[in-house]
Chains A and B, each alone.
Chain A
């Protein structure tokens, strides 16, 4: 089991007003799964994503990652996990604007100890190849389209061979064609046995995954396999 959540809750405390965001969420994700978390805004899906991505800690409950209880991990250890075990894909890409595509992909590696510089550069090129952007290696992000930027972000997420890919509304800022390309890449990665957890609020994007977990008001209200998986290369239908 790669991820195991047990009655995870999260309360936000702001000026002594407690706002519950997650109210006891439990589920498991196996190695190689492609799960989508859906729900309207305010359902807690972003909070869940931050907890799973080690950007935030649960108020109560337990989170096991790769069999380890993560509640006792300190900041240093969490930074290391974010760096080497998790690959993030954001809705707004979050690329460094004045840094080349190659250096953007290599960004996580500057925080990784004991890396062979030549080897990671070779790997970055292979990943660029995989997302179809080899010809853009020395471009700046602002010279790329939204879809291209998101594919650079995917390559960046993969540079340290993470155990888990976390995608937060990866198609949220994209037109349907670019969104389709991004989903194709994610489906390909899943075919290669990468574990992907994706947050989206759009049903047709979620149907590209193999499993859909639906949240409402901080609770899981449904968790089921996708019977007819939607293949992104056939086009995304709204």
Chain B
């Protein structure tokens, strides 16, 4: 009966001061909405990152030019061009046991012309085993072969979006297009693949790596090499063989002097996972600060409420309310205020996360809308405990009022 009455009374007093109650709750609403949406975005972003990387396959080895710590970022990420990795290195890796396919990579941007259609596209110079390495396939026509790489053949395989752009519904096979004024023959169109590793694969064109190096870029190094291992279990031994081979080829005796770095997708996944988790925790901590500020707002207003109701507290004590009852009344009041604020915040946070997922999906990423029960439980508990903790001091002050003095309060 006591609790029922208190709840009824608390709702009455909150309803009576709607705008004040709402403004008080605003801090909690924003805090909880921030926690919910940030946790949702964090989970979705992590999901997306991991999906993007795992989409390349989990038994891939990446060989990057330049040394790097095992867990650190590769030098290429900082825009440093390192020329130590050569096409012949890729060829040598093909011979290793457990290595199922190898492809060198070099990329650039060029102007493609087909009759009166002109547009800029990214091109990728890759090896003949590219489609095996990346686990993809051609939709029509064929992919280029090793002898076309050796002979610097001017052939090109189009991404499906590029094909649409230049040819529409026409058959592009055996048509001739120009890349930076150099004529190429279209020999195939890739199947649709969407965004993998943050690049829309359908907007790329693929040309033999040597052709790209010699005719388009005028260089003889590679951006990176990818090798596919026959089984995940053989990853480590394959990686060691790759390192040994490259050291031998680059005349390196001491592993600390490596001019390349070798990683696998599992490592990349681990790194990404720890980065996104740390980032997520940091953002949640920032959001939690606004909950703290909201809690101080609650405390502030509860002091005002206690002061306003001093006479009422005196009356209640005169009529037999114990300290505990007064304390509970004010704690319930602040807890209800944060709970309502928390509920509104949860709804708002879910809506924000939903809006973000709709927005990101619009840009072609497979961004899942994830609201974890944990985030709802965590933020609800945080909101209630903020209400209780920050309500404690004002409630305690209320409960300590002496009845006669409180009754005389004007």
Contact = CB atoms under 8 A, between A and B. Distances in A.
Given A55-B404, A99-B12, A88 B323 contact: no
Interface string A54-74: 011000000000000000000
Interface in A91-130: 94, 96, 98-99, 103, 106-112, 115, 117
Interface stretch (B46-54, B200-208, B308-316): B308-316
B1 A83 contact: no
A111 B325 contact: yes
A175 interface: no
Nearest to B4: A110
B320 A94 contact: no
Interface in A72-91: 75-76, 79-80, 82-84, 88, 90
Interface of A: 50, 53, 55-56, 75-76, 79-80, 82-84, 88, 90, 94, 96, 98-99, 103, 106-112, 115, 117, 156, 160
B309 to A, nearest CB: 10
B249 interface: no
A112 B404 contact: no
Contact of B323 (A75, A98, A103, A107): A75
Contacts of B404: 50, 55-56
A73 B228 CA distance: 85
A112 B320 contact: yes
Given A88-B319, A103-B5, 11 more contacts: A50-B404, A53-B318, A55-B403, A79-B317, A94-B311, A94-B318, A111-B316, A111-B320, A111-B321, A112-B320, A117-B1
Contacts of A110: 1-2, 5-6
Max chain B CB contacts within 10 Å: which of A53, A94, A108?
Answer: A94
Contact of A108 (B6, B319, B322): B319
A51 to B, nearest CB: 10
Contacts, number: 61
Nearest to A77: B322
B167 interface: no
A192 to B, nearest CB: 22
Interface in B246-305: none
B320 A84 contact: yes
Given A50-B404, A55-B403, A110-B2, A98 B16 contact: yes
Can you list the 5 inter-chain pairs with the closest CB atoms, starting with the nearest?
A: A83-B320, A108-B319, A111-B320, A110-B5, A79-B322
Nearest to A75: B323
A82 B325 CA distance: 14
Question: Which secondary structure dominates chain A's binding surface?
Answer: helix
A117 B315 CA distance: 22
B46 to A, nearest CB: 50
Nearest to A159: B319
Contacts of A96: 312, 315
B407 interface: yes
B9 A99 contact: yes
B13 A98 contact: yes
A94 B325 contact: no
Nearest to A81: B320
Max chain B CB contacts within 10 Å: which of A90, A94, A96, A111?
Answer: A111
A110 B8 CA distance: 12
B12 A98 contact: yes
A39 to B, nearest CB: 18
A92 B322 CA distance: 22
A111 B323 CA distance: 11
A82 B311 contact: no
A156 B9 CA distance: 17
Contacts of B16: 98
Contacts of A115: 1
A98 B308 CA distance: 14
A107 B322 contact: no
Contact of B315 (A56, A94, A98, A109): A94
Contacts of B13: 98
Contacts of A76: 322
Contacts of A83: 319-321
Contacts of B312: 96
Max chain A CB contacts within 10 Å: which of B1, B318, B319, B321?
Answer: B319
B1 A55 contact: no
Nearest to A46: B404
A82 B12 contact: no
Contacts of A156: 319
